[in-house]
């Protein structure tokens, strides 16, 4: 995590969790089902589903698995009914945390999320208490090997809002509704992308000045991301380079 770029701390993703392909696949499949249930199974007429389809493909979810998830969402196949949920809370040191997820039992999930916050010295907040501290945006990652001039010209013409360097990649931000259009524009121009997804960008960051502060907050984020019903975790944290280096050395 870099202290030089706010984009590096948009969303903390734990590598160990991403390596658990089964858990990652299960979360993506749920999101596909919800998207299909809300807007139908046609990718062209359902932009949310199209975004989730691409996210699943980027994560190497098999096409037949994706198709079955969409069919469950549209009711063509039987399955458990999930509903979208969001949770907002505060971690140690006043860090704001916003969660997207899905559940088949809202009461159970809410109680478990509250317990995770409490155990880490944080607290679950009322709806709206944290959301105002984030902006919903589209985010596309492009390999750092692409030149800035080449990317800038193509991305802006395709409708991108901003381009900034991140950790090992360019970060292209878009209006949420223009995410896939911008991605398609990049691909058509021969520019590879490594991911394209909707995200929540923090408006103001909370700097974690010591390894101890960062360790506690990141432990909470890891615990939340490990929960089966949590799809995405966003926090307005900034970890300076020296603190990140100290954590990496542990």
- Please write the tens of the pLDDT for every residue from 220-234: 999 999 999 999 999
Angle of helix 179-188 versus helix 47-58 axis, rounded to 10: 50
Q: In terms of domains, do 193 and 117 share one?
A: no
pLDDT grade for 14, boundaries at 50, 70 and 90: very low
Q: In terms of domains, do 46 and 105 share one?
A: yes
Q: What is the pTM of this model?
A: 0.82
Q: In terms of domains, do 145 and 167 share one?
A: yes
- Which tens digits make up the pLDDT trace of 136-195? 999 999 999 999 998 999 999 999 999 988 878 899 999 999 999 999 999 999 999 988
**pLDDT at residue 80, as a whole number:** 83
Radius of gyration of the chain from Cα atoms?
18
**pLDDT at residue 130, as a whole number:** 94
**pLDDT at residue 129, as a whole number:** 94
Q: Is residue 64 part of a domain?
A: yes
Q: In terms of domains, do 233 and 188 share one?
A: no
Q: Is residue 248 part of a domain?
A: no
Q: In terms of domains, do 162 and 49 share one?
A: no
Is residue 175 left, alpha or beta, with left meaning phi > 0 and alpha meaning psi from -120 to 50?
Answer: beta
Q: In terms of domains, do 154 and 219 share one?
A: no
- What is the phi/psi pair of residue 227, to 5°? -70, 135
Q: Is residue 198 part of a domain?
A: yes
Q: Is residue 217 part of a domain?
A: yes
**pLDDT at residue 165, as a whole number:** 87
**Greatest CA span in the chain, whole angstroms?**
53
Q: In terms of domains, do 144 and 213 share one?
A: no
Q: In terms of domains, do 2 and 49 share one?
A: yes
- Which tens digits make up the pLDDT trace of 112-135? 999 999 999 999 999 999 999 999
The span from the CA of 219 to the CA of 121, in Å, is 11
Domain count, the chain: 2
Domain span at 121: 1-133+204-240
Q: In terms of domains, do 113 and 149 share one?
A: no
Closest CA to 194 of 221, 166, 236: 166
The span from the CA of 161 to the CA of 175, in Å, is 7
Q: Is residue 250 part of a domain?
A: no
Which residues contact residue 192 at a Cβ distance below 8 angstroms, ignoring those fewer than 6 apart? 142, 143, 146
Q: In terms of domains, do 48 and 85 share one?
A: yes
Q: How open is the CA angle 13-15-19, to the nearest 5 degrees?
A: 120
Q: Is residue 208 part of a domain?
A: yes
Instruction: Return mean pLDDT, the chain.
Output: 87
216-99-69-83 Cα dihedral, nearest 10 degrees: 130
pLDDT grade for 20, boundaries at 50, 70 and 90: low
Identify the bridge partners of residue 232 per DSSP, sorted by sequence position: 100
**pLDDT at residue 1, as a whole number:** 32
CATH number of the domain to which 109 belongs = 3.30.70.980
The span from the CA of 51 to the CA of 64, in Å, is 17
Q: Is residue 19 part of a domain?
A: yes
DSSP annotation string for 73-106:
HHTSS-----EEEEEEEE-GGG-EEEEEEEES-H
Q: In terms of domains, do 191 and 85 share one?
A: no
Q: In terms of domains, do 48 and 149 share one?
A: no
Q: Is residue 249 part of a domain?
A: no
């Amino acid at each position: 995590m870099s202290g030089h770029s706010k984009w590096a701390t948009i969303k903390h993703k734990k590598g160990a969790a991403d390596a658990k392909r089964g858990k990652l696949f299960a979360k993506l499949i749920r999101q596909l089902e919800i998207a299909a249930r809300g807007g139908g199974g046609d990718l062209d007429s359902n932009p949310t589903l199209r975004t989730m389809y691409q996210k699943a493909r980027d994560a190497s979810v098999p096409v037949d698995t994706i198709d079955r998830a969409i069919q469950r969402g549209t009711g063509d196949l039987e399955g458990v009914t999930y509903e979208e949920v969001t949770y907002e809370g505060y971690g140690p040191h006043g860090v704001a945390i916003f969660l997207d997820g899905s559940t088949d039992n809202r009461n159970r999930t809410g109680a478990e999320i509250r317990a995770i916050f409490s155990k880490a010295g944080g607290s679950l907040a009322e709806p709206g208490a944290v959301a105002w501290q984030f902006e919903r945006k589209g985010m596309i990652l492009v390999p750092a090997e692409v030149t800035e001039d080449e990317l800038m010209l193509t991305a802006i013409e395709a409708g991108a809002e901003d381009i900034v360097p991140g950790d090992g990649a360019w970060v292209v931000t878009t209006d949420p509704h223009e995410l896939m259009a911008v991605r398609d524009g990049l691909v058509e121009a021969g520019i590879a992308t490594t991911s394209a997804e909707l995200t929540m960008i923090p408006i103001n960051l909370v700097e974690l000045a010591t390894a101890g502060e960062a360790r506690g907050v990141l432990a909470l984020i890891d615990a939340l991301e490990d929960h089966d019903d949590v799809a995405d975790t966003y926090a307005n944290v900034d970890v300076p380079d020296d603190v990140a280096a100290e954590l990496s050395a542990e």
